[in-house]
Structure 1
Amino acid sequence: MLIKKYLFLLFLSFFCLNIYSQTVLSSDSLLILARKASFQQQNYTLAKQYLHQAIQQSPDYTDLWVFLGRINSWEKNYDSAAYFFQHALLIQPSYEDASLAYAKMLYWNNQYQQSLQICNFGLKSHPESASLQLLKSKIFIAQKNYDSAYQIIQILIHQKKDVDAARALAGSIKSLLSKNQVDVSYDFVYFDRQFNNPWHLASVDYGRTTSFGLLTGRLNYANRFNENAFQFEVESYPHISKVFYSFINVGYTNNDNGVFPQWRGAFSLYANLPKSYEAEMGLRYLQFGNNPTWLYTAYVGKYLKNWLLGARTYIIPSNYTSKAGFVYSAMARYYFGGAYDFIGLTAGYGISPDDRYNAVLLDNRANLAAYKAGLLYRKTIGKMNVLSVDFNWVNQEYLPQTKGNQYQAGVSWMFRF
């Protein structure tokens, strides 16, 4: 009887052990569960439990250590995160993802020299890594080593590696690379019906890159409605963080003949978003005589290899016109070189307060239709000169049920030093 009982218990133990072995999850399955717990449930505690269980089963599985390091960095447990990243590199020194994750954590915590060391360590095994090179360029920017940052970006663009992200970064680097810039421009505007005489606009500005961003002073001249006037502007692009920067503009003229708005102002907050997106939200202010108004704008853009695609809207509140007005525009740029080498196309509806040659027409409080299209060509000449040529067509309803065409051609030359 005791023998039968013993055999039965032995059989039951083997049966339970067999069932348990079939239900134990693999390390890959536990990693998948950890990712779901992190990204879908935002439950980092559960995710870490899955990862620690997987590490007990597969202590040399590098992805487990890297993901554990990432979770700890999201939780701001930086010492723990560093330990897990270092352990991953100890297991597999040539693992690119471990070097990238570790260097990014150090970069976002302003530990630039340590981040650069990890980047260089990863690049020894992966010298062609676009992700590590992009991060290295950002580190150089943070260290104000703009020449080195720009060299890396130019190599990536030339090799066509992660070009959308590289080009998104190239413009800001080039602005920081040269401390001074002078820009001279001229625009000619012809009307087939609305006005008998063409408009002439010219401007000259000087900008300097400072510790908080680009600061520019500009003098504008215009001949409109057979009247002449000058306008002075000051604008700046203050840097706020690694993600955000802003745009501030103030313009004034002492003429009250309507050639320029007596006051103009602008403020925008820009964001460089993940996956090569960029976005903007802002305000615009125009005052013609005693008729001030605030306008609101929003923009979103996306870099796709050699292209930048974007859409923008302006909202004109109903306290300025008979009903709220909207301006829409879409743009596409094809880059054939660096950040200042592209062909751009625009199309839209309505008059924009940012169209320097046309914004004065917003003094008309009626909601009149306007359709527009434009072409812009910009090319770097030498290292520090930029030539821009543009042409725009506007079909505008300047009186109810009465339309006319407007043709604008402009040229500008920018010199950086």
Structure 2
Amino acid sequence: MITKIITKLTFLIVLFGSIQMQGQEKVYNGNPDTSFETARNLAFNQQRKAAQDTLINILSKYPNYNEIRSFLATTYSWDGDYKKARKTFAVVLEKDSRSQDTWIAAIKNELWADLPYAALEMTNNALKKFPHNAEFLYLKASAEESTNNPLDTLSTIQSILNQNPDDQKAQDYKKSLNTLLRKNSIGINASVDLYSSVFDPMQYYSIKYSRQTKYGSITPKLNLNRRFNENGAQFEVDLYPKIRKGLYAYVNVGVANSFLFPDVKYGAELFQSLPKSFEVSAGFRTLKYSSTTNIYTGSIGWYSGNSYWSFRPYFTPGETGTSTSGTLTYRKYRSDADNYLGISVGMGFSPEFNQFAFSATDPAIVNLESQKFNIGYYFTTANKQNAWGVQMGVAHQEIIFDQGNFFWIYSLALSWDLKFK
């Protein structure tokens, strides 16, 4: 019995001693500045776990080395661990509230965490300690913009320009805000289709007004057409309601009293953002002439840098089967969404875009062959207030009443939009 007790005590003493020795081995004994530099190099070379281990080891002996703790919090923020970063930044600011770099990093952490109101509160606190500091004013402007307060953002940027009228960054920011504040626009589109045979030239005109709201955009339009020696008009409305972050819809309704247009048209589509800069959608279009045509469509889009790719198929059920068509689109953006080069190629016939094929007495024929190519260039004036566009296209289209024979269609379109507050 005594032997067993002695054995157990010996085991516990050895175990305790081993643990103590391991703990002693973890005690930091190096040069903190040299180790800090090493940790920084590791962090900047995508070895953040090793960098964090080194920083924590240094802090075990130098807990008041605030610059190291602040950098540790920054690495957490880079990793997306915003909550852990927030707690670590709070420890530093509690000890040293005059550390400007820590304030900046902590505010950016809230912005990256998509907590703009928390970031705004922090910038206001920082500006009490560093009045009129341009860096904090920029961060405040970013937070205000993220809370959908462009007027407050403009006021903050203007305070920077009041101190330094030559601040180019503030000047550019102000220009972009003025563009953002232009929530209204009017626009005119004009296009013509020239046919190699059968049809005379066809003219298309559109006048629109658009308004951006916090719920999405609304665009009423008046479409005017000159076709078959007849004139026709159509009124339609496009809506892009926001549902939640990453999800929005497209809704369209149109009416007309001319055979050049469907009597009634309507459609809807849902768009959902996906990881890796992808977006998908699914919806329908309905055209009511003497009979009703339903078109089912969707899209898959991908943003890569300043490039955008999209493929959109159309499926149109009919008496002779389901007609299928599709369009592949590529856009190369420049400074913003209003400045880009666009190219599209398509195959197949879709009545959404070939509405002239239907009349009040003829049934919808959709199983036609067609190939098309379009190229367009869109640009704005220096102040972003005027947006212009020119588009040219060519299509090889099967004749609707003489299937098996084709004509060529050459298209030219011009557009102009004026944006205002």
TM-score scaled by structure 2?
Answer: 0.67
1:200 aligns with 2:203: yes
Query: Would the alpha carbon gap of residues 291 and 241 (structure 1) be closer, same or farther in structure 2, given more than 3 Å must change?
Result: closer
Distance apart, 1:22 and its partner CA: 7.3
2:342 equivalent among 320, 325, 344: 344
Residue by residue over 1:171-190, the C-alpha shift from the partner in whole angstroms, topping out at 9 and shown as x without a partner, is xx777512322111211011
Larger of the two Rg values belongs to structure: 2
The counterpart of 1:65, out of the listed 73, 96, 102, is 73
Pair 1:341–1:70, CA change in 2 (3 A)? closer
Q: Does 1:139 align with 2:146?
A: yes
**Unpaired stretches in structure 1, ≥5 consecutive residues:** 1-8, 37-47, 160-165
Query: Is 1:281 aligned to 2:284, yes or no?
Result: no
Which of 101, 104, 110 matches 2:109? Answer: 101
Structure 1 residue matching 2:121: 3-state secondary structure: helix
Partners of 2:278 and 2:303 within 8 A in 1 = yes
Equivalent position SS for 2:146:
helix
Give the aligned partner of residue 9 of structure 2: none
SS at match of 2:199: coil
Q: Which runs of 5+ in 2 are unaligned?
A: 1-11, 29-34, 161-166, 359-363
Percent of aligned pairs with the same residue?
20
The change in CA–CA distance for 1:147 and 1:72 in structure 2 (over 3 A counts) is: closer
Q: Structure 1 residues 71, 345: CA separation in 2 closer, same or farther (over 3 Å shift)?
A: closer
Counterpart for residue 178 of structure 1: 182
Q: Is 2:394 the counterpart of 1:393?
A: yes
Q: Which residue number corresponds to residue 408 of structure 2? A: 405
Distance 1:311 1:119 in 2: 44
Say how many residue pairs are matched. 371
Q: Hey, what's the Cα distance between the residues in 2 that align with 1:369 and 1:150? A: 53
Question: What is the TM-score of this pair, normalised by structure 1?
Answer: 0.67
Deviations 1:83-135 (A, max 9, x none): 33323556764155443112333x4364463265489799x9995999x6994
Aligned equivalents of 1:244 and 1:285: distance in 2? Answer: 19
Question: CA 1:349/1:15 → structure 2, altered by over 3 Å: closer, same or farther?
Answer: same
Q: Distance in 2 between matches of 1:104 and 1:212?
A: 24
Corresponding letter in the other structure for 2:308: L
Question: Cα gap change, 1:11/1:69 in structure 2, threshold over 3 Å: closer, same or farther?
Answer: same
Q: Evaluate the alpha carbon distance shift between residue 320 and residue 85 of structure 1 in structure 2; reply closer, same or farther with a 3 A threshold.
A: farther
- Paired AA for residue 333 in structure 1: K
Which position in structure 2 is the counterpart of 1:323?
322
Q: Is the 8 A contact 2:285 2:296 kept in 1?
A: yes
What is the root-mean-square deviation of aligned Cα atoms in Å?
5.1
Map residues 127-276 of structure 1 onto 2, 5 A cutoff.
127=135, 135-136=142-143, 138-139=145-146, 141-142=148-149, 145=152, 147=154, 176-193=180-197, 195-255=198-258, 257=259, 259-270=260-271
Deviations 1:310-350 (A, max 9, x none): 21212315467623514131212242x45423333333334
CA offset at residue 222 of structure 1? 1.0
